[in-house]
Structure 1
Amino acid sequence: MPPEPAGAAPQGAAAAEVPAFDVLAELPSGTCVLEASAGTGKTWTIAALAARYVAAGVDLGSLMMVTFSRAASQELRTRIRQRLERTRAVLEAVVAQQTPADLDPVDELLTTGSADALATRLQRVSAALADFDSATIATTHEFCQRMLDSLGVLADTDPDATLVENLDQLTRQVCADSYLRLFGTRGGGPEDDAPRPPWLSFDDALAIGRAVVEAPSLTVVPEDDPDPQVSGRVAFAREVRAEVARRKRLMRLSTFDDMLSGLADTLEHPVHGEAARARLRERYPVVLVDEFQDTDPVQWRIVRQAFHGHSTLILIGDPKQAVYAFRGADVHSYLEAVVEAQATHTLSRNYRSDPSMVRAVMALFEGSALGDDRILVRAVEPGLPADRLRSHSGRYPTTPLRIRSVEGRPGRVGPVRQQVQQDLVRELGTLISSDAELCLDGAWRGVRASDVAILVRAHARAEELRLALAEAGIPAVVNGGRSVHASPAAEAWVTLLEALVDPHQRSVRAAAVTPLVGWTLNRLAAADDEELNELRRRLRSWGRLLEQQGVAALLEAVSGEQQLAARLLRLPGGERELTDLRHVAEGLHQVRTTSGLGTSALLAWLRERIQQAHADGDERSRRLETDAEAVQILTYHHSKGLQFPIVYLPSGWDRWLDEDTGAVLRLHTETGERVVDVGGPQGRGRAERFARARSEDSGDDLRLLYVALTRAQCQVVAWWGPSARNTPASALHRMLQRERTRPHPDPEYPPDRSPTALTGLPRRLVALETVADRGVAVRRDGDESRAGELRVRRFERQLDTQWRRTSYTALTAAAHGPAPVEAGVASEPLRPREDDEPDPATGTGTAAALRPDEPSSDGRLGRLSPLADLPGGTAFGSLVHTLLEYADPTADDLVGELTRLAAHELARLPAAGFGARQLAEALVPAVRTPLGPLADDLTLADFRPADRLPELDFELPLAGGTVPGPSATLADVADCLRRHLPAGDPLAGYPGRLAEPGLSEQTLRGFLTGSVDAVLRLPGGRPRHLVVDYKTNWLGPRDGTPLVLGHYTAPALAEAMMASHYPLQALLYCVALHRFLRWRLPGYRPEDHLGGVLYLFVRGMAGPETPRSEGVPCGVFSWRPPAALVVELSELLAEGPAAGSAREQEVPR
């Protein structure tokens, strides 16, 4: 390696040699810093240390491992479990006097020792795996939350506060209020009331407010500035920060920063702090913190106060990859920890990159200080034996670092960017069609598009490159990055929801040209009134579907009716668009399911998410539109932690440096304190602070270049171009020109040398190539000579046409006459409820022929039904179900409770002919009717809320669900009923009806969905649980005869039950309750805890004086199917007829 230029490496302590870490040496104690480099196996080292500590006798629950992100903590958890499982396997082999193969050095160490020592280690590792869930492997925020929970009363936090991801909405409100107060009644002058434009724009005010709220621990500067506008900006910042904190407390909101500062304050509390620190030290004698370069001063305060000097504290990080300052990370905390640590070691062997790739990066970087004299690029050794990229013909250059230089005099940046982009597309096409080969998994193979990653600085650049590659026939995807709510798909959903809320002419026209509807502008221009009216009707239909069945049903309808997938996939970028539309729909579905939002509220929620897209979390990052072989395009930040065989860097030369526009700055002062400068360009000391901030940004840029170059396993292809301002400011230019010692780039420094004039870099490691100015060769379908003969792929897989997601309604649809029924994937409860009575206009229904019993001694059977004057139909049934679901039957003013709910529902779904109070007064008698002997004659009003579970939703796997297995039919269910129902059972005749043609052959395979109206729990030593279902069926004649209670006697209800196939529904609900209790109720015994079924026909329930028929009040159908029947039916549905018949005599506990 050539000698470095004079002064390239820092002098003094910062440049001192740091010993390499030996994972086989004595386990660390005290505070130890492990300084990693890219590819040096941080996660492997942490897992190895965890296994060694466990084998040495440290309980796994006493180990704490903290990392930066959820994905990293999940990977760390997986790797530690795998390491422990591997350790257990090799110890078991050695204890059994076998010779395990493929031992790594840690295995060899742990399998060395006496037989007793090995047996002890095996016992410890086995115990750790058995209790692996007790391991604390968490993100920083999860760690803080657990610590606060474990400290209990010692932590001064509000346990009922709502944790929010960000305070952007609240900050905007406070900024608007403060801005209006400041400028709304004055002219805007900081010294007088003279009418003139405000000296602070609202956009600048909002930027100031966001900056100080997002960084609550930073000092606001400049302080005591004599300029009234500067001091006014500082005062505004402090006011917003204080007001946001005040409102946040009143609203009982909490952020991750509050969690961190709360724990830090607890540990430093003058009274409780020592007890809190002692409790944490006792709980965690060994602590490992990963990605420590991405910590901040508050997090370092917590770790230092709790563990430094008392527990074994191992801090693992790579300061060269500290690139998250914009998120609040502060590499100075890492550097401070290095000073305070008892020992510092390096991880000095790279296992990611080829040997020549490692040496090429070292040739460019070694000895450089990346933004701070203490952040050095130290030498690392290759960990792999040989390079893994080759070209048989030699026509493809395999030099590990290729610099492609655009020649010419410095000028405007735009043409240079275009030339770089064209050359990248051409080079990528050449690579994929060349004879270049990779050997990543032990066998050589041709290079594929998916072996290449293109890393860029900005998301916009990523999309430009994707389109350019697509035009050349090269598949590419933009991986991660922007929130899906910042995509055009989110705007399309907003436009559609606006039309669903209010389908007026403008919104209908706007929705028509969204990708969801798919009209072209030409079609819209030519559309006549009839076409627009038809679209308006369709939008109204979709709106009803959204309200009744949700976003998933809406998307299904739109996809089918508008041929969404087929239409979009024909277009360039269609996969991306379709993926985004579905992703946004999934978010809408989730929030509607969890929060019950209506269409207008969904629209408001989505608008807010679009506004806050810059702060959205990972779950809303855009998904890949395809998993096919494709080039990956990522930003530098998103690539961190990843690796790729070949990396392209088209923008390493391209960095714009702004002049001071007065933007908010975050920087460190000369004393090391981090501050936020809101004073604008004229603030006192601004020039010095701006220079410091620019220098820190330049350090970030150098570290980003290091991150980008070290993602490559085999090769990096980077571009350099001449531009007057962007090139000299870039990190790649500074490294190539050996300008590593300059504190920050000088934008006026002319790039008078191209990389081709450089000397000192070894040409076998760094190739300097000239970009030819020629067009791009478009490659449509790849190199046919390499692809081989094309053959038609045939679909030979057998589809399971019996598998479906079904419900009671769909199962019995064939028995309900010719009326059309929504088929297939419906779930219960349906809106409208299809298991209730038919609309009067559609026919009399199966129960219309029923008549009350012959005259009896109880004259009360002739009393009018309380609901006799109210209409029938599915809409009315849905309304009654909603009221009984949400009303509190124990309310003192039950009429008022029901009236309030009815008024709300009728306002949303108007019904003619009756009012809210009339309906409420008609339902009160049903709530106060005794439920018969099965319920100990209690009423609905007698059950406390704790003993009443409304709307028990379920989804039961049938015949194994997603796992293939033998399936049953309704004929098998009928056979099961025959075996268990005694002759005197009120439903003894039902098996024959269930076995009728059209029903008996219905296959039970897939999933059964539904919702039990209510489950009631009867008190007692062994509480019984009752399935309750509400029915509004009109069982009287349709000829104008008044509806009386005698129409709802026990025999009439039994016949109505069987005619409508409600016994099947009741049994399915009992199976759902059985499976629910089996998992949730300790000591569950079906024969004791399954109490039976109550079908409440509310039109026949008239209050405490309701007449009885066969000992049960009218309107109440009570049935207790044998527990053995429910258990066997559950097993029949789950495993098929063989399981059911084999256990027909058993009642498992």
Structure 2
Amino acid sequence: MAETIPLNPITLPLNQISLIEASAGTGKTYTIGSLYLRLLLKAGENNFSRPLNVEEILVVTFTEMATEELKKKIRERITDAIDKLTAFAETQDKSAFKNDEFLTALCHNLDIFEAIHRLKLAEQNMDLAAIYTIHGFCRRMLMQYAFHSGIHFNLELIKDQSDLLVRFANEFWREHFYPLPFEMADFIANELGSPDYVLSLLESNLGKNLIVDLEKQQALSISITEFLQQYLGEYFKDIKALKRFWLESEGKISELITEELNKDYAKGEPKSLSRRSYNTSRLAKWIDQVNAWANDPRDYVLNDTLMSYFTQSALDEKGEEGASLFIAPVFTELEERANALISPDLLRRIILYHYRQGLQKKLLDYKLNHQEKSFDDLLRLLCEALQGTQGDELAEMIRFQYPFAMIDEFQDTDSQQYAIFSKIYRDNPEKNTGFIMIGDPKQAIYRFRGADIFTYLKASDEAQSRFELTKNYRSEKNLVDGVNALFDFPKSPFIYQNINFTAVNSRDDHLRFYLNGKAEPAYRFYLTKSDKVNKTEMAKICAISIQHWLKSATENQAVFQNEDTCKTLQAANIAVLVRDKNEAALVKNELQKLGSASVYLSDQNSVFDSNVAKELAWVLKACLNVAERPILNAIATALFGLNAADIHQIQQNEADWQRWADSFAQYQQTWQRQGILAMLHQILLEQGISERLLSQATGERDLTDFLHLAEILQQAATLHESEAALLSWFEKQIQGEGRQEAQIRLESERQLVKIVSIHKSKGLEYDLVWLPFLAVPSKIPTAGDMNVYYSKERDETLWDMENRNLNTLYEETFAEELRLLYVALTRAKYQMAFALPAQFDKKWNALHYVLSQGEIGKEIALSATKDTETLLQAFKEKMKDNVEICTKPNLEAFPALSINTKNDELKAAEFTGNIEQDWRITSFTSIEQAHRRQNYLAESTGKKHAVFDDAKDYDSQNAIEMSTALLNENESNILDLPRGKQVGTALHRHFENCYFSDLANTEEIDKLRQSLQLDETFTEPLQNWLQQISHTPLSNEIGIALADLANKDCIKEMPFYLAIREYFDVEAFNRALKAHHHLPSEPLQFEQIQGMVRGSIDLVFRHNGKYYLVDYKSNFLGSTLADYNQEALKKEMLHSHYDWQYLIYTLALHRYLQSVVPKYDYARDFGGVFYLFLRGMNGEPQSGVFYNRPSVELITELDGVF
């Protein structure tokens, strides 16, 4: 393993595999930006072999937000470098760099003007920068190199597969557990609870490559049905036999033990059964307990009393020292029968294994049938492609495209992700690339999402060089010193020896928080009155402390000092870090009591789960069905603010009732005439809902939900034919059926106290941080959990079915708890505050561990509680005045603080710019239609016609004409198939869904026949015809038919967007066709456009290293094969302007191949264009086949036109 050394961004080698460890706040993003500048300019020492463009530098991170932030920061660094270099070029004075040490050093031996030019080019092209999420990168590579990855271009990406998992979990439960006999079903219900609970256990490990650590491997290889019949059935048989044996032997057992208890022993003689453990009254109670168990048919778990007092082993332990053993065969047999039983816990875990397998299979089958993939599938597919037969070639193409890569947040990687980048960069035989992994193992906190700290450690060992960032730029000096003091101790501060802690330095500026004129300590600890964790009391202390800060701020007595500047504290400068939404609710509630508003920034709930959604459903029912019962249900909701007396009065008073009925009738009319959004706004205004909600404690949250739901309903209304259908959809969303993504929105963007989960806070900084619940004991895995751990010996992730390695799992849990603590302790810029109990619990806790400098070890339960103040005093001795311990916190609330929420009067700015109207996305069909219309209009009125963007690219524009004649094998009849768009669409779908070697597949033929509205007599003629199509040689030269094409060499329905660089020059297009003697088509005519041309190529295939373009045409040219000869095909190509179409398609494919095929050459690599007129393909060479290969000169010239 390479030695870890401090990083110098100027000298770090860029032509090897390196790892950078970036502790919290040490400028990781700035470092990435510095290395990015070096790569653009080939500047500094140990450079990459050549300067790179933004499209060639791959930067990968793990979230969309982080991706956007990285792109923004890198763009800013480039702009800043341009400004400073330009100023330096003008003055030759290094003060132009404004103390930018990196840029000053970078300019040594640098051509300044060339550097400015390259940076300006990079700035202009930042929208093309290869900065992606890991999933975005994988998807791009799979689609871009589809021939090597085997990915279908039309796959749908599932952003959230949780609804599918719920569906399949319920399906599996019904299929396998409903048919079971009662006792087995009862066992399942008690051990597994429900499909939702099972899913909560399995979901985080679905898709992982888990090795099951189990002695009885045969139990895994059989089906779930066989397992339940064999193993669970055997268990019930054996436990029933044990119960029977007990009931048969209970009298004998009582007699034997009673006889022993009544035996006379000499004084001082050791007894075979200790009288401290056994006596006649206890014996009777124990026997009654075991009898009750033995007679209960629903109690299938081995009885504890039986095992503790009536087995031979238990009796042996209860004898007095020196006594002869109390032995009887009945006790031995009881123990043997009990020990022979398989553990119910193990049965449960094996059932969970089969459940997991079943879920994965259902999910996989669904995705295959629907051409859908999840984010995790993208990783798996790229990894498999790189390990496959074409993996080396695929890796080489990716390296060619991205010769340098940086992976941010690498501590959050897993083995699959590392395998992808390892294959691309570490296994590079030419060593002409660079690869840098950037992360911090101390901040690896996403194990629940599949992140694997052990993969990071393995990658760290394999890196050629290791560097670390050693200066903290986030926090004031005393906070940095405090983290150093807590974690810099010899007893493995993060449990694992290879996760080291290196003390970091702080920056030199003078950060300080002043409260009421006094400098505040970096750390303030409030000790509760209770010796135990009391979350409510801790939340209250937190709220009062924040209230005190905010009250002082209103008097300008709470200020932040940063060198020469000061700013007054605002609520948004405060963050409370919590574990989950329950802790957040405690803090939010206590703040609310004191008049301080807050917002929970980590809320993942759906707006459909809100009370407002349920109440809004009642309102919509009343608007749809204006009748007494629905209206009464609606006005009884909290939205209308009526009580029971009000509603009773409305029922009794006819005039009142009529007013409400008239109102809802009016709402119904508004819904029908103007839409649901207009109706909901009308209700909101007329019924004063905004004012009513905002007067309540949760009003801002509820009003935000109301407005959010109104938007969602308006969007959904466009997808539903009627108001009733929309309401039905809305009710299903509330019930969770096929739910769309609808995470609740923040109720306000005002200055509010932020409540954030520790996980969400990673990577962020806050001026003041409160940690009220750090003393809560860590949640320890139990024997009943799905216990998955990493085996160092096997270098594999194991599912410990028999709980033989729980200590290893405890160790992993403690280690992650410490990493989570480190993240929490490194978020603050000025001060941190804590609430702790007077005593630390006997249960393991991460803060207790670091305060004790690791002395408490890794035991689940400690021998004794520990005085918190004693531990803190040791920390205070190191930190002196920068730690304050408040042993008697004042819980008297300050006077309620009213935060001023009045908004300044704002006015929208007027837009005075000019928006170009010509930019659009168009298609060949739009262009061709516009040409025809423009010709017609030009001839008749002299006017021009614009391109229609919504036109579709159908093969034939004829109306559908269904033939009623029966098809025989006669050629004239097969050519008289139905005509029109429906036929073309159906044939395209058939060609897309079938392997070319199996176009006559009976099942798919039936689907085709039905879509063409043909009866079963057409099945055989269709099969014969498609068989002929698939075996028609496309060309004598290349000697291949569709049936010869392997699926891996084909891309079907390849979509494209062909960028028009500026304006599409129609005259230049026509001149190019004429100059290169292309088909003598009429000149293209339509209005000038800019934007993009979209399209979808029916088929691209690869044969003997060349790429070919194919388009299917179902056009009817005549009722004989002679109507499909080469002259007829050429005539149709010109008449329908397909020559324009295939030139556009060829250009699009040419640009695509340029980007994905190393050293691509059109003359060598492009084979040509086939237009297949399907009705004319009868198996003879080139029958119904039009072929052309545009010259390289023409395509080159057209490339300049577009």
TM-score range, shorter chain: 0.5 to 0.7
1:132 pairs with 2:249: no
Q: What is the deviation of 1:274? A: 0.9
* 1:306 equivalent in structure 2: 424
1:734 pairs with 2:849: yes
1:801–1:375 CA distance, 2 compared to 1 (3 A): closer
1:200–1:399 CA distance, 2 compared to 1 (3 A): closer
Deviations 1:1027-1080, CA, capped at 9 Å, x for gaps: xxxxxxxxxxxxxxxxxxxxxxxxxxxxxxxxxxxxxxxxxxxxxxx9xx6767
1:578 pairs with 2:703: yes
Give the counterpart letter for 1:491 in structure 2: K
1:54 pairs with 2:40: yes
CA distance in 1, matches of 2:904, 2:141: 58
1:603–1:732 CA distance, 2 compared to 1 (3 A): farther
SS of 2:683's equivalent in the other structure is helix
1:86 pairs with 2:80: yes
1:273–1:501 CA distance, 2 compared to 1 (3 A): farther
* 1:247 equivalent in structure 2: 366
Of 148, 151, 175, which aligns to 2:145? 151
* 1:587 equivalent in structure 2: 712
SS of 1:729's equivalent in the other structure is coil
Q: What is the deviation of 1:141? A: 0.7
* 1:142 equivalent in structure 2: 136
Residues 90 and 111, structure 1, Cα contact 8 Å, conserved in 2: no
CA distance in 1, matches of 2:766, 2:213: 43
Give the 5 Å matches for 1:599-998: 599=723, 602-603=726-727, 606=730, 620-655=742-777, 657=779, 660=782, 662-671=784-793, 675=797, 677=799, 683-684=801-802, 686=803, 688-689=805-806, 691-722=807-838, 725=841, 728-739=843-854, 742-743=857-858, 745-746=860-861, 749-755=864-870, 758-761=873-876, 762-764=878-880, 766-772=882-888, 774-781=890-897, 890-892=959-961
CA distance in 2, matches of 1:279, 1:202: 48
CA distance in 2, matches of 1:608, 1:663: 32
Residues 535 and 773, structure 2, Cα contact 8 Å, conserved in 1: no
1:490 pairs with 2:613: yes
Of 638, 647, 659, which aligns to 1:524? 647
1:512 pairs with 2:635: yes
Residues 541 and 889, structure 2, Cα contact 8 Å, conserved in 1: no
SS of 2:131's equivalent in the other structure is strand
Q: What is the deviation of 1:605? A: 5.1
Residues 423 and 771, structure 1, Cα contact 8 Å, conserved in 2: no
Bigger mean CA offset, 478-487 vs 543-552? 543-552
Residues 287 and 312, structure 1, Cα contact 8 Å, conserved in 2: yes
Residues 66 and 140, structure 1, Cα contact 8 Å, conserved in 2: yes
Give the counterpart letter for 1:265 in structure 2: E
CA distance in 1, matches of 2:129, 2:533: 56
Residues 449 and 629, structure 1, Cα contact 8 Å, conserved in 2: yes
* 1:292 equivalent in structure 2: 410
Deviations 1:256-287, CA, capped at 9 Å, x for gaps: 11110000000000x21111011111111110
Of 23, 31, 37, which aligns to 1:37? 23
Residues 403 and 717, structure 1, Cα contact 8 Å, conserved in 2: yes
Deviations 1:589-629, CA, capped at 9 Å, x for gaps: 34444x45755555565556556699997xx4443333333
1:646–1:439 CA distance, 2 compared to 1 (3 A): same
Of 2, 7, 11, which aligns to 1:25? 11
1:195–1:351 CA distance, 2 compared to 1 (3 A): closer
Residues 188 and 196, structure 1, Cα contact 8 Å, conserved in 2: no
Q: What is the deviation of 1:772? A: 2.6
Q: What is the deviation of 1:423? A: 4.8
SS of 1:217's equivalent in the other structure is coil
CA distance in 2, matches of 1:800, 1:147: 43
Instruction: Give identity over the alignment, percent.
Output: 23
Of 477, 490, 506, which aligns to 1:382? 506
Give the counterpart letter for 2:9 in structure 1: V
Give the counterpart letter for 1:45 in structure 2: T
Residues 516 and 558, structure 1, Cα contact 8 Å, conserved in 2: no
1:568 pairs with 2:562: no
* 2:107 equivalent in structure 1: 111
CA distance in 1, matches of 2:828, 2:209: 37
SS of 2:60's equivalent in the other structure is strand
SS of 1:96's equivalent in the other structure is helix
1:88–1:549 CA distance, 2 compared to 1 (3 A): same
Of 63, 66, 82, which aligns to 1:69? 63
Residues 411 and 440, structure 2, Cα contact 8 Å, conserved in 1: yes
Structure 1 residue runs of 5 or longer lacking an equivalent are 1-12, 803-887, 901-1018, 1026-1073, 1083-1149
Residues 770 and 834, structure 2, Cα contact 8 Å, conserved in 1: yes
Give the counterpart letter for 1:260 in structure 2: L
Aligned residues: 792
Q: What is the deviation of 1:151? A: 1.2
1:796–1:629 CA distance, 2 compared to 1 (3 A): closer
1:801–1:356 CA distance, 2 compared to 1 (3 A): closer
Q: What is the deviation of 1:630? A: 2.2
Q: What is the deviation of 1:632? A: 1.3
* 1:1054 equivalent in structure 2: none
1:260 pairs with 2:379: yes
What's the TM-score, normalizing by structure 2?
0.60
- Cα RMSD of the aligned pairs, angstroms, is 4.1
Deviations 1:93-151, CA, capped at 9 Å, x for gaps: 3333453251412221233326xx22332232222223222210111111111111221
Q: What is the deviation of 1:759? A: 1.8
CA distance in 2, matches of 1:614, 1:636: 31
Residues 493 and 850, structure 2, Cα contact 8 Å, conserved in 1: no
Q: What is the deviation of 1:358? A: 0.8
SS of 1:759's equivalent in the other structure is helix
SS of 1:403's equivalent in the other structure is strand
1:535–1:714 CA distance, 2 compared to 1 (3 A): same
Give the counterpart letter for 2:158 in structure 1: V
SS of 1:388's equivalent in the other structure is strand
Q: What is the deviation of 1:253? A: 1.9
Residues 94 and 111, structure 1, Cα contact 8 Å, conserved in 2: no
CA distance in 1, matches of 2:664, 2:762: 45
Q: What is the deviation of 1:754? A: 3.6
* 2:198 equivalent in structure 1: 206
CA distance in 2, matches of 1:385, 1:44: 18
* 1:282 equivalent in structure 2: 400
Residues 486 and 875, structure 2, Cα contact 8 Å, conserved in 1: no
SS of 1:555's equivalent in the other structure is helix
What's the TM-score, normalizing by structure 1?
0.63
Give the counterpart letter for 1:568 in structure 2: L
* 1:1086 equivalent in structure 2: none
CA distance in 1, matches of 2:625, 2:105: 72
* 1:470 equivalent in structure 2: 592
